[in-house]
């Protein structure tokens, strides 16, 4: 085939250029050298990164200085199958080599197949639909716009329900709409005014919820387990009560499963056994196995038609590569019996943690785990953990969160449990 006619790239030295040459023309830099370059070129919103990571395989990653870590955070509940999963890697690269991006003027087989697959896995009722985005906050943003359409006339001028309810401690993302749903004052205050009408009510309090819901409420947003708030599950019965109250008032019940979905709790959805049918679900983090993708699922014909043609959109969302990555991830989770692993290893990990001296409470489900310490040393535990070769996260001063790859083994878990007492001692000594 003629390279010029097909527009394909001529075989040249370009194709033989390793990515390392693009990022590090000066020879291999140390972690410290990279971080100096980082601080002069990257915006400071994340603070100083803890390490410069260069490679991963399964549940392990390596930094620029060659040190190995057991990744118990999984890119914050993203790397469902660990790092460099051979099947996901091959599907992504073959899709990219076939067709990478087309815009939403067009569709592609992987996009359609993924939408069908997600509706099947979530037991969505007839008439349910999917909107693809690139991240969690974008999935929530779409859900926010969906909520604004609840009860509104076609042109939006009349009948709009003005209130949206979210919970204290909620985290729904960082873009303006999602931020309006997020509770944390430090995240919100610098950016006010935020989209209006959002009311935060006390966490897990059914009476407060029932008192807050009336016919002016467009939607209630709930995380089944609040991840950023330290892995805090909704109390039993809360979702059922929320479903009853929202149905009665004509408000949408929107479940944010961005962190808890896609096998994280040992089930496809954390809310799968709650005995309720929501109006919408947001997904993202684990969905692409590390590749960025988000999704809003709308349940039933009526909710699915709230956003009309032209009322929402995205350039990248649902592109062939992202949707192929998600299809590959879902297939691997199914065919490698990953959900069973999550249940077994999650139980083992929680039981082990509860027996560690200095651990006062263990929460969570499957491989989304939070545990509290008897002192405010969580940030020091993160540092001591890294020095000992473990990646963990501290969402609060005395809370540690684990959201490892869903393929974590019992052996790997055992290594961490054995190392934890010394990590806690080091952290306390460092205070
Ligand atoms: C992480 C998260 C988000 C935001 O997702 P991003 O991909 O970071 O935008 C939204 N909701 C929940 C529950 C999350 O955990």
Q: Is the CB of 75 under 6 A from ligand 1?
A: no
Using the atom order of ligand 1, give the atom closest to the CA of residue 173: 4
pLDDT of residue 13: 82
Ligand-binding annotation for 17, yes or no, is no
Q: Give 329 or 4, the one with higher predicted confidence.
A: 329
Q: Is the CB of 136 under 6 A from ligand 1?
A: yes
Rg (CA), the chain: 23
Distance CA 248, CA 94 (A): 49
Q: Whose CA is nearest to atom 6 of ligand 1?
A: 136
Ligand-binding annotation for 340, yes or no, is no
Q: Is the CB of 56 under 6 A from ligand 1?
A: no
189 CA to middle of ligand 1, Å? Answer: 19
Catalytic residue among 131, 171, 203, 221: 171
DSSP, collapsed to helix, strand or coil, labels residue 224 as coil
Ligand-binding annotation for 314, yes or no, is yes
Using the atom order of ligand 1, give the atom closest to the CA of residue 76: 1
Active site residue 184: no
Active site residue 285: yes
The answer to whether 103 touches 313, Cβ cutoff 8 Å, is no
Which helix (H) or strand (E) element contains residue 344?
helix 338-354
pLDDT of residue 300: 98
pLDDT of residue 1: 47
Q: What is the pLDDT of residues 237-255, one digit of tens each?
A: 999 999 999 999 999 999 9
317 CA to middle of ligand 1, Å? Answer: 16
Q: What angle do CA 121, 126, 131 make, to 5 degrees?
A: 65
The answer to whether 280 touches 297, Cβ cutoff 8 Å, is yes
Mutate to test the pocket of ligand 1, among 259, 270, 403 (most ligand atoms within 8 A of CB): 259
227 CA to middle of ligand 1, Å? Answer: 9
Q: What is the pLDDT of residues 78-137, one digit of tens each?
A: 999 999 999 999 999 999 999 999 999 999 999 999 999 999 999 999 999 999 999 999
Helical axes 378-387 vs 410-430, angle rounded to 10°: 120
DSSP 25-60: TTSPPPHHHHHHHHHHHS-GGG-S-S--EEEEEBTE
C-alpha separations of 368 from 184, 234, 295 in Å: 21, 14, 20
Does this model's pTM top 0.75? My answer is yes
Q: Is the CB of 198 under 6 A from ligand 1?
A: no
| Residues in contact with 388: Cβ distance below 8 Å, sequence separation at least 6, in sequence order | 419, 422, 423, 426
133 CA to middle of ligand 1, Å? Answer: 12
99 CA to middle of ligand 1, Å? Answer: 28
Q: Whose CA is nearest to atom 8 of ligand 1?
A: 136
pLDDT, the chain, mean: 95
Ligand-binding annotation for 105, yes or no, is no
Distance CA 195, CA 165 (A): 13
> What are the φ/ψ torsions at residue 393 (nearest 5 degrees)?
-135, 150
pLDDT of residue 14: 85
Q: What is the pLDDT of residues 344-384, one digit of tens each?
A: 999 999 999 999 999 999 999 999 999 999 999 999 999 99
User: What is the DSSP code (8-state) at residue 11?
Assistant: P
DSSP, collapsed to helix, strand or coil, labels residue 316 as coil
Distance CA 226, CA 401 (A): 11
C-alpha separations of 321 from 81, 135, 201 in Å: 17, 14, 39
Q: Is the pLDDT of residue 423 over 70?
A: yes
Q: Is the pLDDT of residue 306 over 80?
A: yes
C-alpha separations of 308 from 70, 121, 155, 191, 245 in Å: 46, 25, 10, 29, 27
Using the atom order of ligand 1, give the atom closest to the CA of residue 227: 15
Q: Is the CB of 171 under 6 A from ligand 1?
A: yes
Q: Burial code of 157-185, b = ≥16 C-beta within 10 A, e = fewer?
A: eeeebebbbbbebbbbbebebbbbbbbee
Identify the CA nearest to 310 among candidates 197, 155, 109, 140. 155
Using the atom order of ligand 1, give the atom closest to the CA of residue 136: 5
Q: For the purposes of burial, counting CB atoms within 10 Å of the CB of 247, is it exposed (0-12), middle (13-18) or buried (19 or more)?
A: middle
Q: Whose CA is nearest to atom 10 of ligand 1?
A: 172
The answer to whether 370 touches 400, Cβ cutoff 8 Å, is yes
pLDDT of residue 16: 82
Q: What is the pLDDT of residues 199-216, one digit of tens each?
A: 999 999 999 999 999 999
Q: Which domains does the chain have, with CATH numbers?
A: 22-84+337-430 (3.90.1150.10), 90-335 (3.40.640.10)
Distance CA 193, CA 20 (A): 44
Q: What is the pLDDT of residues 8-61, one digit of tens each?
A: 555 578 888 888 888 876 667 899 999 999 999 999 999 999 999 999 999 999
> What are the φ/ψ torsions at residue 220 (nearest 5 degrees)?
-120, 125
Ligand-binding annotation for 425, yes or no, is no
Q: Is the pLDDT of residue 66 over 80?
A: yes
Q: Is the CB of 256 under 6 A from ligand 1?
A: yes
Q: Work out the number of other CB atoms within 10 angstroms of the CB of residue 241.
A: 16
User: What is the DSSP code (8-state) at residue 395?
Assistant: E
Q: Is the CB of 203 under 6 A from ligand 1?
A: no
In which band, very low, low, confident or very high, does the pLDDT at 158 lie, cut at 50, 70 and 90? confident
């Amino acid at each position: 085939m003629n390279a010029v006619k097909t527009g394909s790239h001529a075989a040249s030295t370009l194709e033989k250029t390793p990515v390392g040459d693009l990022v590090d023309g000066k020879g291999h830099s140390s972690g410290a050298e990279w971080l100096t370059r980082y601080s002069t070129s990257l915006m400071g919103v994340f603070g100083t990164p803890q390490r410069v990571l260069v490679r991963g395989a399964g549940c392990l990653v390596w930094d620029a200085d060659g040190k190995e870590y057991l990744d118990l955070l999984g890119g914050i509940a993203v790397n469902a199958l660990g790092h460099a999963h051979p099947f996901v890697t091959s599907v992504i690269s073959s899709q990219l080599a076939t067709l990478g991006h087309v815009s939403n003027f067009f569709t592609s087989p992987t996009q359609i197949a993924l939408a069908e697959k997600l509706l099947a896995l979530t037991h969505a009722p007839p008439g349910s639909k999917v909107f693809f985005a690139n991240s969690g906050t974008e999935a929530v943003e779409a859900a926010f716009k969906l909520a604004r359409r609840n009860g509104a006339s076609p042109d939006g001028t009349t009948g709009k329900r003005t209130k949206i309810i979210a919970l204290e401690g909620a985290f729904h993302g960082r873009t303006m709409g999602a931020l309006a749903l997020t509770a944390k004052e430090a995240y919100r205050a610098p950016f006010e005014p935020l989209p209006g009408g959002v009311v935060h009510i006390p966490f897990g309090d059914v009476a407060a919820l029932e008192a807050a819901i009336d016919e002016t409420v467009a939607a209630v947003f709930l995380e089944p387990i609040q991840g950023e708030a330290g892995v805090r599950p909704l109390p039993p019965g809360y979702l059922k009560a929320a479903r009853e109250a929202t149905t009665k008032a004509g408000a949408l019940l929107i479940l944010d499963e961005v962190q808890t979905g896609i096998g994280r709790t040992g089930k496809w959805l954390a809310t799968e056994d709650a005995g309720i049918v929501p109006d919408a679900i947001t997904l993202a983090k684990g969905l692409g196995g590390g590749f960025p993708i988000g999704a809003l699922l709308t349940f039933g014909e009526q909710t699915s038609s709230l956003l009309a043609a032209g009322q929402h959109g995205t350039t990248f969302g649902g592109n062939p590569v992202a949707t192929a990555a998600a299809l590959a991830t879902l297939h691997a989770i199914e065919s490698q019996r990953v959900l069973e692993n999550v249940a077994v290893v999650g139980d083992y990990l929680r039981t082990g943690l509860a027996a560690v001296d200095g651990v006062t409470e263990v929460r969570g489900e499957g491989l989304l785990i939070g545990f509290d310490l008897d002192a405010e040393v969580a940030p020091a535990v993160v540092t001591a953990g890294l020095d000992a070769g473990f990646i963990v996260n501290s969402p609060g001063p005395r809370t540690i969160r684990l959201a490892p790859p869903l393929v974590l083994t019992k052996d790997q878990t055992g290594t961490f449990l054995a190392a934890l007492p010394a990590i806690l001692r080091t952290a306390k000594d460092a205070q």
